[in-house]
Structure 1
Amino acid sequence: MLTTNYLFFTSKNRIYNQNKKDSYSLMIKAGMIKKLSSGIYIWLPTGLRVIKNFEKIIRFSMNNINAIELLLPIIHPSNLWETSGRINDYGDELLKILDRKKKNFILGPTHEEVINYLITHEIKSYKLLPIHLYQIQTKFRDEIRSRLGVIRSKEFIMKDSYSFHMNKKCLQQTYKIVLNTYKKIFDLIKINYCIVQADNSFIGGNISHEFHIFSKNGENKIFLDKKNNYFLNNHLKNNLTFNQQNRIKIKNSIEIAHIFKIGKKYSDSMNVYIYNKKKIKKKLYMGCYGIGISRLIAAVIEQNFDSKGIYWPNSLLAPFVVAIIPINMYNYPIVKKKSFFIYKKFISLGIKVLLDNRKENPGVMFSDIDIIGVPHIIIINNKNIINNNIEYKYRKTGFQNIIALDLIIDFILKKLKLNKCFNIFFPKK
């Protein structure tokens, strides 16, 4: 993973404006995204690596609760949305297209209609229930005001999953499992979040919970009362125990996930049923559970940056775990030789490592590595390497130390093994 290509986009954005303190400016400067149009972004190589890291954690977590991955189509026949009744409910956010035969289609903002179509045509016996299906897919919404880069955009990446049940009790069990799984995911990546009861809106059902990450740039407002209960702004009027005298804190936030007990909304509208043991026709109960992956990446950055750029709260989320910066490599053959030796050793161990082989001055190298947030930095210069030493720096805290060359691999491996994500990225064989 030499840096010639990966830092190509970063090198054009070296000057980091410290007055712009939001995820959008940081992601642009770090070469993670590039704006194509309002609300539409190209995910550049470094940003894509971060997406893949988040996806790995989410897949591990979903598979761990016996959810089954599939992939649903982006393009939906509009008649499905007409059947569910949501084609008008969704309003102008729904992106509609025509094919060459003038047939109407929708670019999916969500997949309740499609998954119910699948269940109707594939699940024929109660013995196959409950079932929990998930996907990681691109979604589309014609946002009236795209803002803060990928936090509110027209095209975005989500993990959405759907569970189907014969009764409310079974739905409640899965709902609770997903709620706890989401907590584990967000605890694992070390973000400061809260859970609030929310409106189901046009998704359906009557019970849902949102996960919010605190950020001063957030578009939502979270209220905290004296009993440490969180409320969304639009829920204050519905909560009898809450009043303005009781309020002690208001925080801005970004929604990163939403789970719903939908119940029988789509079973009723789309006639989704199964015959039970007694051969009685029963409409299915449904749950829906989403995580905004592209939005989550931006939200994490909102909480984790400094004057130099991004630092990742969990090192295995970073695009690279280790960066090697050789000083004047082309003037000192021993620096080049030892840099490539360490680089190849990390590669053989499956550690994501980046070696800066550009003919740039050290200041540029340090700046680029800091802004993308590589957590473990190895600096190799002629003065240290002739004594078989290298310099180590930890990005988040700035801690620096001189370490013997033959100890650096084990030193970093020990640090990674302390990380709760380690077994997700490096499963035991």
Structure 2
Amino acid sequence: MKASQSFLATLKEAPSDAEVVSHKLMVRAGLIRKLSAGIYNYLPLGLKVIRKVENIIREEMNRAGAIELLMPMIQPAELWQETGRWEKMGPELLRIKDRHERDFLIQPTSEEVITDLARNEIKSYKQLPINFYQIQTKFRDERRPRFGIMRGREFSMKDAYSFDRDVEGLKKSYQIMFDAYTKIFQRMGLKFRAVTADNGAIGGSGSQEFHVIADTGEDAIVYCPSSDYAANLEAAVSLPLLGSRAAAQQSMQKVVTPTQTNCLEVANFLNIPIETTVKSLLFAVDQEKGPAKLFMLLLRGDHDLNEVKASKVPGMAESRFATEAEIKQACNAPAGYLGPVGIAPDVKVVADHTVANMSDFVCGANLAGHHLTGVNWGRDLPEPLVMDLRNAVIGDPSPDGKGVVDICRGIEVGHVFQLGTRYSEAMGCTYLDQQGKSQPMVMGCYGIGVTRLLGAAIEQGHDERGIIWPISMAPFEVVICPMNYDKSEQVKAAADQLHEQLIAAGIDVILDDRGERPGAMFADWELIGAPFRVVIGERGLVDAQVEFKGRTDAESQNISITEIKDKVIAAVNSAKQLVS
């Protein structure tokens, strides 16, 4: 292809609302243009990258035995009402009405539609297992779209759904998809990790996320450098930091802390380690009748609450922070001085594993301006319900017992779920087994954020000059930059010949025939991120040489004009082998 036949729309400056590197570079490189908040046009170069991503995904999904289909973007509300998600999903679900005032939605995902298809088309165990997938536009009405396509409202996703006879079959289908995902991200040349994750709104019994490792990632990944353990922070197991509870050494005392309302302030004021303090958080769960049910969650003073783990406390799935009135009812003290000693008997006390093993600890006294020291379980207050409540921190023991954990940042680009019968039972999606008995199909679902992958790859690969694409994702593998293409017949002939030779060899090459000045031309292609560049000029042709340079090379090489074709082909093939 020649640049004059394409559409290059590079910019020197990024828009003022671009917050992250990928957003800035995608706009500047002419990959996207904003239409509305979280909604983008994909310009030709951006679409070219998307198609390359889709091709890799499609090849690996087909190789794994999945069958491609296409489901509508617009879905009837009735299906989502069957599973209860029409009511449960928040404002991210964009609901619409047709001219007959019937309720529809723009799909954020397709569990209901594929389950409806399966219950109508699959009747016998002989038709199972089966796995359907699509690459389709999705819409989620994000409250605050940001980070360009990384947190947009409209996006492209590959979603797949497996149907099996039983749980053992599901496990096999799940592993096949996990392995396919691993191969997909390897072929894309991305540094990634698969991590244990929370199931969230999808439901099911188990799931794993695939994260592209990037310092700007939204998600924290807890991993063990000396083992294979990895989990999203939301799902990472936090072991107790005390192996057992020591015997009490102090008597409980009430001490004055006149203005100290958090654990760090209290520790500094009393000149004690913060690790001896306990923070108390009061939550409320509204009831259909009567007052809200109250829960007090306890964490060590230097630890943070993991809200996903808190939601798994029995009875706390739909909780909120307690109001001032509820705090007064339970503790008769202002926030900042709350503690588990002497609270109302109907408040459920839940302690993190580490807190449950603490002795002689410090907590709020339920009295303004006061805290308690020397507090001990069993003697001064009843034993609590004990659960994992906190976020993991660097240096925690790894849950697999093989070292300590570290934390890095990642961008979620894929998620695989073992759904089980969550949707098939709700929607009556059954098959007849070998005994002629009706059984619910056992489902899995598997998603990849197609357009998000572009942003994630750029967050992982860029420098001050622009994008550094893995070769499998780059809009072009090679750019030919001729000097004075429109003025020198010798340069034009050499450039055209190499262009034709590389096309014939199957290289994805573009010839920049725009007649731009060298500096502007080089800047454009470094911004766009072409992995390899060939510069052809009259001065070099005098010695029958051209310049060859990789995107991340410090210096260019002078290559004979007779050898440049083979040099380019070898370089491209070598780069592809590294990610295959």
Task: Tell me, yes or no, if structure 1 residue 273 matches structure 2 residue 430.
Answer: yes
CA shift for structure 1 position 202 = 1.9
2:416 and 2:445 in contact (8 A); partners too: yes
* Counterpart selection for 2:494 from 320, 335, 338: 338
- Give the stretch that moved more between structures: 325-334 or 156-165: 325-334
Cα distance in 2 for partners of 1:179, 1:20 equals 32
* Counterpart selection for 1:408 from 564, 567, 572: 564
CA shift for structure 1 position 404 = 1.7
Task: Tell me, yes or no, if structure 1 residue 84 matches structure 2 residue 83.
Answer: yes
- Residue in 2 that maps onto 1:427: none
1:223 and 1:231 in contact (8 A); partners too: yes
Task: Tell me, yes or no, if structure 1 residue 302 matches structure 2 residue 459.
Answer: yes
- Per-residue CA distance 1:172-228 (angstroms, 9 max, x = gap): 011111112211222222322222211212212121111112222222222335765
Correspondence list, 1:18-417, <5 A: 22-225=21-224, 228=227, 229-236=229-236, 239-240=238-239, 244=393, 246=396, 249-313=406-470, 315-417=471-573
Gapped runs of 5+ residues in structure 1? 425-429
- Per-residue CA distance 1:139-161 (angstroms, 9 max, x = gap): 00001121110011100111110
Q: Which SS does the other structure have where 1:320 is aligned? A: coil
- Per-residue CA distance 1:301-360 (angstroms, 9 max, x = gap): 1010111101113x1310001101110122211101111111122223332211111132
Cα distance in 2 for partners of 1:59, 1:378 equals 32
CA shift for structure 1 position 248 = 5.1
CA shift for structure 1 position 77 = 0.8
Cα distance in 1 for partners of 2:432, 2:202 equals 26
- Give the stretch that moved more between structures: 304-313 or 191-200: 191-200
Q: Which SS does the other structure have where 2:563 is aligned? A: helix
2:210 and 2:413 in contact (8 A); partners too: yes
- What letter matches 1:275 in structure 2? L
2:150 and 2:455 in contact (8 A); partners too: yes
CA shift for structure 1 position 278 = 1.1
Q: Between Structure 1 and Structure 2, which shows a larger proportion of helix residues? A: 1
- What letter matches 2:178 in structure 1? L
- Give the stretch that moved more between structures: 109-118 or 378-387: 378-387
- What letter matches 2:8 in structure 1? F
1:14 and 1:367 in contact (8 A); partners too: no
Q: Which SS does the other structure have where 1:291 is aligned? A: strand
- Per-residue CA distance 1:76-113 (angstroms, 9 max, x = gap): 01111111211122211101111222221110000111
Cα distance in 1 for partners of 2:577, 2:74 equals 35
Relative distance call for 1:258 and 1:177 in structure 2 (3 A) is same
- What letter matches 1:268 in structure 2? E
Cα distance in 2 for partners of 1:309, 1:250 equals 27
2:19 and 2:147 in contact (8 A); partners too: no
- Per-residue CA distance 1:29-74 (angstroms, 9 max, x = gap): 1111111111001111111110011111111111111111111111
2:93 and 2:140 in contact (8 A); partners too: yes
- Residue in 2 that maps onto 1:14: 12
- Give the stretch that moved more between structures: 192-201 or 278-287: 192-201
1:316 and 1:421 in contact (8 A); partners too: no
Relative distance call for 1:64 and 1:85 in structure 2 (3 A) is same
Q: Which SS does the other structure have where 2:448 is aligned? A: strand
Relative distance call for 1:273 and 1:28 in structure 2 (3 A) is same
Relative distance call for 1:64 and 1:422 in structure 2 (3 A) is farther
Greater Cα radius of gyration, structure 1 or 2 = 2
Question: What percentage of aligned pairs have identical amino acids?
Answer: 40
- Residue in 1 that maps onto 2:312: none
CA shift for structure 1 position 5 = 5.3
Q: Which SS does the other structure have where 1:35 is aligned? A: strand
2:20 and 2:147 in contact (8 A); partners too: no
Structure 1 segments (4+ residues) deviating >4 Å? 225-228, 241-245, 419-424
CA RMSD of aligned residues (A): 2.2
1:7 and 1:368 in contact (8 A); partners too: no
Gapped runs of 5+ residues in structure 2? 242-391, 397-403
- Give the stretch that moved more between structures: 75-84 or 382-391: 382-391
2:507 and 2:569 in contact (8 A); partners too: no
- What letter matches 2:476 in structure 1? F
CA shift for structure 1 position 126 = 1.5
Q: Which SS does the other structure have where 2:108 is aligned? A: coil
CA shift for structure 1 position 241 = 5.9
Q: Which SS does the other structure have where 2:117 is aligned? A: helix
- Give the stretch that moved more between structures: 211-220 or 128-137: 211-220
CA shift for structure 1 position 298 = 0.5
Q: How many matched pairs?
A: 419
Q: TM-score, normalised by structure 1?
A: 0.92
Cα distance in 2 for partners of 1:150, 1:82 equals 30
Relative distance call for 1:224 and 1:319 in structure 2 (3 A) is same
Relative distance call for 1:287 and 1:241 in structure 2 (3 A) is farther
Cα distance in 2 for partners of 1:326, 1:225 equals 50
2:187 and 2:472 in contact (8 A); partners too: no
Q: TM-score, normalised by structure 2?
A: 0.69
CA shift for structure 1 position 20 = 7.5
Relative distance call for 1:269 and 1:255 in structure 2 (3 A) is same
Cα distance in 2 for partners of 1:264, 1:87 equals 18
Cα distance in 2 for partners of 1:66, 1:421 equals 24
